[in-house]
Structure 1
Amino acid sequence: MTHPLRIGIWALVHGNRAALNDPEEPYDASWRRNRGLVLEAESLGYDCVLVAQHTMNPHRTDLGQLEAWTASAALAAETSRIEIIAAIKPMLYHPVVLAKMALQIEEISGGRFAINLVNAWNRKEIEDAGLVFREHDERYAYGAEWLEVVERLMRGEEVQHQGRYFQVKDYVLRPAARGRARPRIYVGGESPPARDLVAARADVWFINGQPLEDVQALIADVRARPRQGEPVRFGLSTFVIARETEEEAQAEYRRLLDLAAQDAEIKAYVKANTDPAVAMRKTQAKFQSVGTNGGTAAGTVGSYDQVAARLAAFHAAGIDTLLTQFQPFEREMRRFAENVMPRLAHLRAA
């Protein structure tokens, strides 16, 4: 079954997505900016926003950092249509507490809330808080048990759970979700344990930006895994540079590459704090790109027609949620809405 293509944005939880020092986009990860960004995205026709979770800035400790869950609650109250997706690292929140928070934001939003489980790559963020940063595969075992408890609580079940990591007795949360069974569940990660978790419990799998043939292989792999209930749906992250001509787009791409080269110290800091077993880092190392989570590796640099055709090809391959990044964000988000979205609509209609 082919679902309509939903187009979303990344909130600017740690500011610029491509390069820190851009004269066209001064660093700003404030609540005020993110509120304005999401309200404008909703008015432009974007369908969802991902609010990534970092308690400390992953690039530099002296830079501002938006808090995901308090911001998501506020965004739920401020908006009327757009889906609010809040990322969560299971090691930071007990499942009972997180499930209650999720149900509260679900109520505030009127049924437009979702969680995005990510099993953490930043060792420093966890260990400096005095918490245990488990090794890669154990993080997924922990996350799977955590999500089992959260999912049942969000459904309004009375939960009895005696597991390896959590023991929950006679727990039930009220009010439960109204209008649907529970908030939607997105899962990130591309390693084999991540794919097992996606097949078992995710509604939507977020895939990092990469070439179409690689995305097709990932989708085929997860579709082949044992699954109960509705089929998994698929999302893709991509950094977009679209212009009237391909030459103009490539010139902007080179501008951002040059600016990103100035962030060598930041990239070394991030690498030093990253678990080398994380699949996302291995994927990103294959490509020269700008942006996070695969950035431009999906090939979304070109003319308006080229970018629209590229995104339509991903949709045909099974991607039905697209998470876009831009820089400067507001200006390029408007450009995309004005010039690429209508072309995408025409291609889908055809």
Structure 2
Amino acid sequence: MTAHPLRFGVWAPVHGSRAARHDPDEPHDASWARNRALVLEAEALGYDSVLVAQHTVNPYDESRDQLEAWTASAALAAVTRRIEIIAAIKPGLIHPVVLAKMALQIEHVSEGRFGLNLVNAWNRAEFEQAGLPFPAHDERYAYGREWIALVERLLRGERVSFEGRHFRVEDYQLRPAGTYRARPSIYVGGESEPARALVADHGDVWFINGQPLDAVTGLIADLESRPAARGRLRYGLSAFVIARETDAEAEDEFARLLELSRRDEKLRAETRARTDAASVMFAKTDAAAAYHVGTNGGTAAGLVGSYGRVADGIRAFHAVGIALFMLQFQPFEAEMRRFAERVFPRVRA
């Protein structure tokens, strides 16, 4: 497998805290002002990417604020200069022609720094309460496959005529396209069999949820065994990081966040009630919620400990194929700085 350069990204705090929602060190703030400042600081610190998750309503507490992903990503593209902007997209919310045009515009504003992250949705309420269809898991992936096949061709500036099960497009072409590269990058999330087949055929990067090294190794091996993906795909990993001078200090902070997160159990139960039971991500993370913090696997990736231990863990994941680490912290700004100051030098030497 080709060894890709090591890259680090951050999850934008689009719905506030990632670990615990009652943390006195991080009051709830999902505002544009906070996200703008955080991403500008991440860029200055040397982070390579930011992932802006897409939700129309806060998925954990609907009474709290929620940043809109695509308008925010366009704005971030205009105020940043180097960092990659990755916006998540749920195909069922936006027609492929409209989405492709939006993506090309952000690609143009950013001068070739945009990527879209295809996720096939897990929050039933987000769709059903808006009167939108929310098909069964595998049917959503069939829809997403037809959707991304159209989007990819439109992103390349091709003139497209297509008639399928879900979409009909006649003699459609979008401009500007190809100004900075062939098309924006396509990231794909999800670990079910339909998700793996989809990323093998259409993705540039597979986002894997936080989990131990041996599990990640097996997932990458499975994708690399598929002819469509072999040697072409890059791999990213979500992880919540707690790094300190000593393992003991890191474990103390982990225990603090874990105790705070237990106060969110009612909110987690409400989220589970709105979640598609076939979602592989939630099947895994739900089982681990009692002893991990963070979303999308969080601390299950094991990046909790001394600076040296966390750096060793990153090097081990990189050795099996992880090129991009998409990181979460709490309190976000302070821990993001700590990681850049103390861990970057250990892994970027």
Normalising by the smaller structure, the TM-score range is over 0.9
- Residues 106, 177 of structure 1: 8 Å contact kept: no
Q: Match of 1:322?
A: 325
SS in 2 for 1:24: coil
Determine whether 1:338 maps to 2:338. Answer: no
Shift of 1:116: 0.1
Q: Match of 1:132?
A: 133
Structure 1 letter corresponding to 2:301: A
SS in 2 for 1:149: helix
Structure 1 letter corresponding to 2:12: A
Mapped to 2, the partners of 1:290 and 1:328 lie a distance apart of 13
SS in 1 for 2:67: coil
Mapped to 2, the partners of 1:69 and 1:109 lie a distance apart of 13
Determine whether 1:313 maps to 2:316. Answer: yes
Mapped to 1, the partners of 2:207 and 2:319 lie a distance apart of 16
Shift of 1:174: 0.8
Q: What is the TM-score of this pair, normalised by structure 2?
A: 0.98
SS in 1 for 2:210: coil
Q: Match of 2:15?
A: 14
Out of 294, 300, 306, the residue aligned to residue 297 of structure 1 is 300
Mapped to 2, the partners of 1:331 and 1:177 lie a distance apart of 38
Q: Match of 1:226?
A: 227
Shift of 1:179: 2.1
Mapped to 1, the partners of 2:286 and 2:55 lie a distance apart of 22
Shift of 1:61: 1.3
- Residues 242, 304 of structure 1: 8 Å contact kept: yes
Q: Match of 2:99?
A: 98
- Residues 200, 226 of structure 1: 8 Å contact kept: no
Q: Match of 2:255?
A: 254
1:323-348 C-alpha deviation (Å, 9 max, x unpaired): 000000000000000001101113xx
Q: Percent of aligned positions with the same letter in both sequences?
A: 65
1:233-288 C-alpha deviation (Å, 9 max, x unpaired): 10000000000000000000000000000001110011000001000011213432
- Residues 55, 65 of structure 1: 8 Å contact kept: yes
Mapped to 1, the partners of 2:177 and 2:102 lie a distance apart of 11
- Residues 209, 294 of structure 1: 8 Å contact kept: yes
Q: Match of 2:179?
A: 178
1:112-164 C-alpha deviation (Å, 9 max, x unpaired): 00000000000000111110001000000000000000000000000011111
> Structure 1 residues 32 and 226 mapped into 2: Cα distance closer, same or farther (>3 Å)?
same
Structure 2 letter corresponding to 1:295: G
SS in 2 for 1:285: helix
1:156-189 C-alpha deviation (Å, 9 max, x unpaired): 0000111110000000001113121000000000
RMSD over equivalenced CA pairs, Å: 0.9
Structure 1 letter corresponding to 2:293: V
Mapped to 2, the partners of 1:283 and 1:318 lie a distance apart of 21
Q: Match of 1:193?
A: 194
> Structure 1 residues 73 and 185 mapped into 2: Cα distance closer, same or farther (>3 Å)?
same
Shift of 1:58: 0.3
Give the unaligned 5+ runs of structure 1.
none
Q: Match of 1:157?
A: 158
SS in 1 for 2:151: helix
Mapped to 1, the partners of 2:230 and 2:131 lie a distance apart of 39
- Residues 6, 320 of structure 1: 8 Å contact kept: yes
Give the unaligned 5+ runs of structure 2.
none
Aligned residue pair count: 346
- Residues 157, 177 of structure 2: 8 Å contact kept: yes
Shift of 1:44: 0.1
- Residues 242, 307 of structure 1: 8 Å contact kept: yes
Structure 1 stretches of 4+ moved >6 Å: none
1:273-322 C-alpha deviation (Å, 9 max, x unpaired): 00010000112134321000000001000000000000110000100011
